[in-house]
Amino acid sequence: MSQELDITELRETVEAAGEAWADGEHIDIVTPATVLALLSRVEKAERSCRLLGTIIERDGKNLVELTNSQDIIPEDGDGDWEVVWERAQEMKDRLEQAEQAVARVHALNNELSWSPNNVAIVQRYRDALDGEPNE
């Protein structure tokens, strides 16, 4: 059966049935179609949860490997994930620092004409890589 069940409609029907039952009336809301529709939604939710679990597990293993945290998170995944996330943040910070250093060197390269014997130029490149301001 490929009939999609509207959860809002079902909720309203159940609420109405509850009120009717309280009043002593009988409403037949548990039909085979309703049960099949609910089972279909449960199966779809279970598949989605399994897929999400697989994605999280894969991404977690990748993060552990990228941060070299195998000593903290064993194969079963039970470990100190806070340390792993701190390592990932440190890597991000170092990457940003490296990108800034490269930008400073590019700026110097555009500004200066290269001369292998010019100690001042070489020192400015070193300073740029170390994060010193260019003067």
Cα(132)–Cα(135) distance, rounded to whole angstroms?
A: 9
User: In Å, what is the CA distance from 67 to each residue of 30, 81, 92, 101?
Assistant: 53, 11, 11, 22
**Same domain, yes or no, for 61 and 38?**
yes
Let me know if residue 71 belongs to a domain: no
Q: Which domain holds residue 54?
A: 1-66
Model pLDDT for residues 78-99, shown as the tens digit of each residue: 999 999 999 999 999 999 999 9
Q: In this predicted model, which residue has the larger pLDDT, 1 or 85? A: 85
Question: Would the pTM count as exceeding 0.75?
Answer: no
Let me know if residue 90 belongs to a domain: yes
Q: What is the pLDDT of residue 68?
A: 94
**Same domain, yes or no, for 8 and 60?**
yes
**Same domain, yes or no, for 60 and 4?**
yes
Q: What is the pLDDT of residue 103?
A: 87
Cα(124)–Cα(82) distance, rounded to whole angstroms?
A: 39
Let me know if residue 73 belongs to a domain: no
Residue 134 has pLDDT above 70, yes or no: no
Let me know if residue 111 belongs to a domain: yes
**Between the CA atoms of 88, 91, 96 and 98, what dihedral angle is there, to the nearest 10 degrees?**
-170
